[in-house]
Amino acid sequence: MKQLKINTAIQISKPVNEVFEAVLDPEKMSNYFIAEGSGRMEEGETLKWKFPEFPEKAEIWVVEVTPNEYVSFQWEGAKGEKLLVEITFLAMPGDTTLVKVTEEGMPANEAGIKWLARNTEGWANFLASLKAYLEHGINLRKGAFDFMKEAAGK
């Protein structure tokens, strides 16, 4: 069966090393994506990410890290499914960085299509939040998904 794949990208007005660090460093990630992380993304590490709107922690298995170019990890991107996320960083003119995120591994069926819509939205939000944080010091995620906490509690 055909596998579905998410493709998202954004250009950020910061140098590649600064953008790369903001993705690998859990302290920096807590300003736009996660509430907390158990460690830095390094090849072979297993990490725990806590998202602000969910009580449970997500397990992250870091697969590959190429400084200032690429990071990949696996996680349970859908219930019971270990999916691959790849983030590439490309230095662009004017000391800017093109960041691309892909996620793949779900079959082309009803559950896969629901995952594709939800996680595409999630990765687009990740990129917009990364850009807002790095360029303007704004945490777009803060309070943005409180409605999900309320829905989960009902």
The CATH number covering residue 25 comes to: 3.30.530.20
Whether pLDDT at 8 is above 80: yes
pLDDT classification of 49: cutoffs 50, 70, 90: very high
Amino acid at 90: L
On whether residue 154 sits in a domain, the answer given is no
On whether residue 46 sits in a domain, the answer given is yes
Total domains in the chain come to 1
Alpha helices (runs of H) in 11-78, residue ranges in sequence order: 16-24, 26-29
On whether residue 123 sits in a domain, the answer given is yes
On whether residue 35 sits in a domain, the answer given is yes
On whether residue 130 sits in a domain, the answer given is yes
Distances (CA, A) of 92 to 102, 111, 142, 144: 19, 37, 29, 30
Its pTM stands at: 0.93
- Greater model confidence, 99 or 146: 99
For residue 55, the model assigns a pLDDT of: 84
On whether residue 57 sits in a domain, the answer given is yes
What range defines the domain where residue 99 resides? 3-145
Whether pLDDT at 154 is above 90: no
On whether residue 51 sits in a domain, the answer given is yes
On whether residue 61 sits in a domain, the answer given is yes
